[in-house]
Amino acid sequence: MTANDIISRAEILVEEEYASTDWKGFMEGVLRDLTPSAKILKDEDITVTISSGEATMTISSTLPNLYELVDVSFLPTGGRNRPLRRIAPTDSVSVGWSRMENDTIHLRNLPWTAGTATVKYYENLSMTASTVTTGDYTFNLPAQHHEVLLLGVCAYAMQKEEELDRKSDFYAEYMMGKRKMMAERTAEIEPWNRQYVAQIKVGEA
**Averaged pLDDT, 155-165:** 76
pLDDT band at 36 (very low <50, low <70, confident <90, very high): very high
Q: What is the pLDDT of residue 21?
A: 94
Is 0.85 topped by the overall pTM? yes
What confidence score (pLDDT) does residue 181 get?
A: 94
Q: Which of 115, 137, 140, 120 is nearest to 63 (CA)?
A: 120
Q: Using CA atoms in the order 203, 29, 194, 201, what is the torsion angle rounded to 10 degrees?
A: 30
- Percent of the chain whose pLDDT exceeds 70: 92
Grade residue 95 by pLDDT with cuts at 50, 70 and 90: very high
**Cα–Cα distance measured from residue 113 to residue 53, given in angstroms and rounded to the nearest whole number:** 7
Among the listed residues 40, 66, 60, the one whose alpha carbon sits nearest the alpha carbon of residue 190: 40
